[in-house]
């Protein structure tokens, strides 16, 4: 039987990762953390927000390369690839705007003295698959949307990694290519438009007329049901039915394999753990916890199988 420890978003918090691996009984051997019977699956977002980006990569990358861990790409790895990769026009795929630079600043500062190492890390990010299916499990950074997964496979290589051509196409927001839409869905999570005349101001004082939705919620019917917002903002979201055209392909039914994802900045109190869905981003980068699910092949999923450590 396959046994995995599935770890959520790390965001440059190497100390927390080391404590978690120690608690999971992984030990340093032959240059990387290993367990005699188990393997780790990382759900992406290794970098940004924290100030231990390089130590995180120096811990995670050898585990994957030694075959004692798997990893999928997070949106922060994708953004880093685009930030450091030029297109045919000589421009970077992710604009070096002040906002983008600030979001990536911790990584840039840590790797500034090590340009060749930085290039090797970006090249390694490119080898990360967008999703994994193994041992009856599905693993992805933000959203398992079956129609997008099925269609996107033909745009990826045999390991479900971005090809150079698909990477360039996926960064073309203006053209709104399928590859761009797929990355937005799988790595960043689907959003839907609010009805005309409705909107809200988010925690960063930005006016928003779209909501990120809880795609795993098969019973969500209204904008307020589906909206992923803080409780103080929820009353601003209309309690109106979402048109079928916007919501018909989302939801994750109970007859599908267990799926693990991160991305959504949960807390121990609000963390999504259903019969076959679990979000393992427990907001370590905001003073929360770093979480791991000890997969033993059992169903339904249970919070009792989650081990976490403080940031």
Would the pLDDT of 232 be above 90?
A: no
Tally of domains in the chain = 2
Of the CA atoms within 13 Å of residue 219, those in its CB half-sphere come to: 2
**Each residue of 86-112: pLDDT tens digit?**
999 999 999 999 999 999 999 999 999
Please state, in angstroms and rounded to a whole number, the distance separating the CA atoms of residues 116 and 240.
53
Parent domain of 166:
4-190+250-310
Of the CA atoms within 13 Å of residue 137, those in its CB half-sphere come to: 26
Average pLDDT of the residues of the chain: 93
Q: What pLDDT does 248 receive? A: 58
Would the pLDDT of 120 be above 70?
A: yes
Please state, in angstroms and rounded to a whole number, the distance separating the CA atoms of residues 226 and 215.
8
Would the pLDDT of 200 be above 70?
A: yes
Same domain, 73 and 182: yes
Out of 232, 249, 266, pick the residue that ends a domain: 249
Please state, in angstroms and rounded to a whole number, the distance separating the CA atoms of residues 209 and 38.
44
Q: Cα dist. 223→65, 235, 308 in Å?
A: 43, 11, 32
Q: What is the mean pLDDT of residues 233-260?
A: 84
Q: Where are the beta strands (DSSP E) in 81-170?
A: 131-134, 137-140
Q: What is the DSSP string of 222-233?
A: BHHHHB---TTT
Q: Higher model confidence: residue 88 or residue 205?
A: 88
Q: Cα dist. 253→101, 191, 193 in Å?
A: 39, 19, 23
Gyration radius from the chain CA atoms: 19
Q: Cα dist. 208→197, 226, 245 in Å?
A: 11, 15, 21
- Give me the count of residues in the chain: 311
Same domain, 230 and 289: no
33: β partners: 28
Same domain, 280 and 181: yes
Question: In the numeric block, which tokens belong to residue 14?
Answer: 């190497």
Same domain, 99 and 211: no
pLDDT-derived band of residue 173, with 50, 70 and 90 as boundaries?
A: very high
What is the sign of the dihedral through the CA atoms of 137, 138, 141 and 142? negative
Would the pLDDT of 1 be above 80?
A: no
**Each residue of 16-38: pLDDT tens digit?**
999 999 999 999 998 899 999 99
Q: What pLDDT does 251 receive? A: 81
Please state, in angstroms and rounded to a whole number, the distance separating the CA atoms of residues 141 and 75.
8
Percent of the chain with pLDDT over 70: 98
Same domain, 277 and 166: yes
Same domain, 84 and 111: yes
Q: Higher model confidence: residue 126 or residue 226?
A: 126
């Amino acid at each position: 039987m396959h046994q995995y420890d599935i770890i959520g978003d790390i965001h440059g918090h190497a100390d927390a990762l080391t404590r978690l691996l120690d608690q999971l009984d992984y030990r340093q051997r032959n240059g990387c953390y290993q367990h005699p019977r188990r393997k780790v699956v990382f759900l992406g977002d290794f970098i940004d927000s924290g100030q231990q980006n390089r130590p995180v990569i120096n811990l995670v990358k050898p585990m994957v390369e030694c075959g004692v861990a798997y990893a999928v790409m997070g949106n922060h790895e994708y953004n880093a690839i685009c930030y450091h990769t030029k297109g045919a026009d000589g421009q970077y795929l992710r604009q070096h705007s002040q906002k983008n630079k600030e979001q990536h600043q911790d990584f840039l500062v840590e790797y500034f003295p090590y340009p060749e190492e930085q290039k090797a890390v970006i090249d390694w990010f490119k080898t990360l698959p967008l999703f994994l299916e193994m041992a009856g499990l599905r693993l992805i950074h933000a959203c398992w949307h079956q129609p997008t997964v099925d269609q996107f496979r033909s745009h990826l290589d045999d390991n479900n990694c971005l090809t150079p051509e698909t990477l360039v196409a996926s960064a073309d927001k203006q053209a709104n290519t399928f590859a761009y839409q797929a990355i937005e869905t799988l790595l960043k999570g689907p959003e839907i438009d609010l009805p005309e005349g409705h909107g809200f101001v988010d925690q960063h004082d930005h006016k928003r007329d779209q909501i990120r939705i809880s795609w795993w919620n098969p019973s969500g019917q209204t904008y307020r049901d589906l909206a992923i917002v803080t409780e103080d903002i929820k009353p601003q979201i209309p309690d109106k039915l979402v048109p079928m055209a916007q919501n018909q392909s989302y939801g994750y039914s109970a007859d599908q394999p267990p799926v693990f994802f991160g991305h959504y900045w949960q807390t121990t109190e609000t963390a999504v753990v259903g019969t076959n869905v679990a979000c393992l981003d427990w907001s370590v980068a905001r003073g929360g916890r770093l979480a791991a699910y000890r997969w033993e092949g059992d169903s339904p999923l249970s919070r009792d199988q989650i081990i976490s450590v403080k940031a």
